[in-house]
Amino acid sequence: MPLKPFQSDGTLHPIATGEGLRRNAVRGAGASIAGSAGSFILGIGSVIVLARLLTPADFGIVTMVTTFSLLFRSFGLNGFTELIMQREEITHALTSNLFWIELGIGIALTLVFAASGPLLASFYHSPAVAEAAAGISLTIGFGCLGWIHVGLLQRAMRFRTTATISLIAYVLYVIVAITLAKEGWQYWALVWASVTQSLVTSVGAWLMCRWVPSWPRRAAGTGAGVKFAINVYAHFAFSYSTRNTDNLLVGWRYGARSLGFYKKAYDLFVLPETQLLSPLTGVVVSALSRVAADRDQFRRYFLKIVSVLALVGIGVGVDFALVGKDLIRLLLGPGWGEAGRIFALFGPGIGVMLLYNTHGWVHLSIGRPERWFRWGLLEFACTASLFLVALHWGPAGVALAWTTSYFLLMFPGMWYAGKPIGLGVGSIMNVIWKFFVASSVAGFATLFVMRFLPAYAALPGAAAAFLRMVTASLLFLGLYIVGISVLHGGLDPLKETGTLLYEMLPLSSVRRATAKATEGRDAITGAEHSRETYQESQFVAVSGEIRTKE
């Protein structure tokens, strides 16, 4: 059902605390990951189709434009949504002021970006870039209409709702992109698909968050809130610049075709982050913000999350490094072999990337975005310098620079983020080192075994690529589980992760509610306070059903 975030007096409806907070956070994580998994399946299907309908140059042209447009489009998404989730108290008046500030800046950015098309075309030496920029600029304005509503939904722990909105928007993106590509619209298929996705996301947020902003007026906290949002966005801007300097340099130096190959390899590189980390960010920041005053509880929550990410993320990263070439061959076809060679240099950094990027959760949840911004400056300087040095060796050299940067920055970044709250690097190391060792040994052992099958490894065609992927992945998974079992003295990490995944499922909440109701009915007979016990059990059952429906 749609959310009505504010009470009649203009204050937010109360949210859960304690065990209720943990339960809502776990369910929210499950909904977010489920929605992300749906987008992943759709994305794989669309990649398979679009890679055969469009050329690397078409993807390259759109990437040249989105290298800049996504920075503007994210204004509000990165800043105001975190403010709404993190702030202890927020009112209807303050939220309205934030909406109008964001919308005004968003419209200005839309017009500026549309007018900048000729400059981008001149920089990239491609007239098509100017036309694509004019179309893509619409995503900035449409996006700014809905980010405040998304933030309100996330604060209320309606992550199932936001995941559904994102999934529907992506479904329509895929439909528009494939339909227009089949009609020969070339790169315009991707442009109009992006515009559709942005518009649908905002419309969905308004439909599911029944809140209409009032006209702006003086409200306590507006200045402080804008300052918080600016610090968050400033960090995002530098982080985004770090993540897109590679596209800028490769496109400028080597052209749209080389950028198309590089971008597909990079998309596979960040796939674990988009499917694991991004869906969890809103859930984790909301939950950790509620316990930031209790340092011990904060550390327990954070380290538990890091443990699960290390188990899954490091394993996925090593497996992708093993099968990445065949995966790209299978998905994109034989004409994308260069992307597979580039990805081989991205692979080793996947697990480290996932763990490193959790440092932002700490900065945001303890309300210290200015420290996150300062760290972003150092991150940009380090990574951009590596890009400039590696550019001489082409897109492959830039890919290796990415991997190197994450290994250099991970532990200093964790130390700096955790310092204000006493979260030391040592405690994080104790959680993750065994997963690193187990995955490394399993990865090298898998590679060694596969090398003993030279005829099998050299078989051509998509069927052979699929067979190699399945064989290598199953072998690695078996060895990885053995390594975890040996180093941890059992399968406790796998059991804990399995329990957490079970709790994320909506079905598990139904079963808990039913079990409690049954216990209550059994307690009626022979109890001294049978009537009171029965009423309490019914209340628990009904509450569980309501929470499940939400």
What DSSP line would sit under 110-151, residue for residue? HHHHHHTHHHHHHHHT-THHHHHHHHHTHHHHHHHTTHHHHH
d(C-alpha 391, C-alpha 249), whole Å: 8
Least-confidence region, from 154-163, 247-256, 433-442, 503-512: 503-512
Determine the length of the chain: 550
**pLDDT for res 544:** 36
Give me the sign of the Cα torsion angle 204, 210, 216, 217: negative
Q: What integer is the mean pLDDT of 138-157?
A: 86
d(C-alpha 488, C-alpha 493), whole Å: 8
Average per-residue pLDDT for the chain? 80
Strand partners, 91: 11
d(C-alpha 61, C-alpha 128), whole Å: 7
In this predicted structure, the answer to whether residue 523 has a pLDDT above a threshold of 50 is: no
Residue spans of the domains in the chain: they are 16-220, 259-485, 505-549
Q: What integer is the mean pLDDT of 443-460?
A: 76
Name the DSSP letter for residue 7. Answer: -
- Over the stretch 196-252, which tens digit does the pLDDT of each residue have? 999 999 999 999 888 888 888 888 778 888 888 787 787 777 777 777 788 889 988
The encoded tokens of residue 499 equal: 């329990």
Name the DSSP letter for residue 528. Answer: T
Strand partners, 11: 91
Q: Please say whether the beta carbons of 170 and 278 come within 8 A.
A: no
**pLDDT for res 214:** 86
- 252 CB-side CA count, 13 A: 13
CA distances from 174 to 49, 190, 193 (A): 10, 9, 7
Block residue for tokens 């409806």: 13
Phi, psi angles (nearest 5°) of residue 5: -70, -30
Is 145 or 6 the better-scoring residue by pLDDT?
145
d(C-alpha 67, C-alpha 87), whole Å: 31
- Over the stretch 366-394, which tens digit does the pLDDT of each residue have? 888 788 888 988 888 899 899 999 998 99
Q: What integer is the mean pLDDT of 293-303?
A: 87
**pLDDT for res 296:** 87
In this predicted structure, the answer to whether residue 135 has a pLDDT above a threshold of 90 is: yes
Neighbouring residues of 492: CB distance < 8 A, sequence distance ≥ 6: none
Q: What integer is the mean pLDDT of 50-74?
A: 86
d(C-alpha 510, C-alpha 514), whole Å: 6
In this predicted structure, the answer to whether residue 87 has a pLDDT above a threshold of 90 is: no
Instruction: Provide the 10 A C-beta neighbour count for residue 431.
Output: 21
Q: Please say whether the beta carbons of 84 and 90 come within 8 A.
A: yes
Band of residue 454 on the pLDDT scale cut at 50, 70, 90? low
Mapped onto helix, strand or coil, the DSSP state of residue 105 is helix
d(C-alpha 549, C-alpha 27), whole Å: 12
**pLDDT for res 481:** 94
Phi, psi angles (nearest 5°) of residue 459: -60, 135
d(C-alpha 25, C-alpha 21), whole Å: 6
Band of residue 70 on the pLDDT scale cut at 50, 70, 90? confident
Span between the terminal Cα atoms of the chain, in Å: 7
Q: What integer is the mean pLDDT of 490-508?
A: 71
Question: For residue 54, which of 244, 332, 266, 334 has the smallest C-alpha distance?
Answer: 332
d(C-alpha 325, C-alpha 465), whole Å: 9
Question: For residue 165, which of 152, 150, 143, 144 has the smallest C-alpha distance?
Answer: 150
Band of residue 504 on the pLDDT scale cut at 50, 70, 90? low
CA distances from 207 to 3, 139, 161, 352 (A): 9, 19, 11, 38
Instruction: Provide the 10 A C-beta neighbour count for residue 196.
Output: 20
In this predicted structure, the answer to whether residue 194 has a pLDDT above a threshold of 90 is: yes
Q: What integer is the mean pLDDT of 82-108?
A: 83
Residue 484 CA, distance from chain mean position: 26
In this predicted structure, the answer to whether residue 258 has a pLDDT above a threshold of 80 is: yes
d(C-alpha 103, C-alpha 115), whole Å: 19
In this predicted structure, the answer to whether residue 521 has a pLDDT above a threshold of 70 is: no
Please, where are the H alpha helices in 391-505?
394-418, 425-451, 454-457, 462-488, 492-504
> Left, alpha or beta for 461 (phi > 0: left; psi -120 to 50: alpha)?
left
Cβ-in-10-Å burial (0-12, 13-18, 19+) of 344 comes to middle
Q: What integer is the mean pLDDT of 313-324?
A: 86
Q: What percentage of the chain carries pLDDT values higher than 70?
A: 81
Name the DSSP letter for residue 3. Answer: B
**pLDDT for res 25:** 53
In this predicted structure, the answer to whether residue 400 has a pLDDT above a threshold of 70 is: yes
Band of residue 436 on the pLDDT scale cut at 50, 70, 90? very high
Please, where are the H alpha helices in 216-309?
222-269, 271-272, 278-290, 295-309
In this predicted structure, the answer to whether residue 116 has a pLDDT above a threshold of 50 is: yes
In this predicted structure, the answer to whether residue 505 has a pLDDT above a threshold of 90 is: no
**pLDDT for res 41:** 75
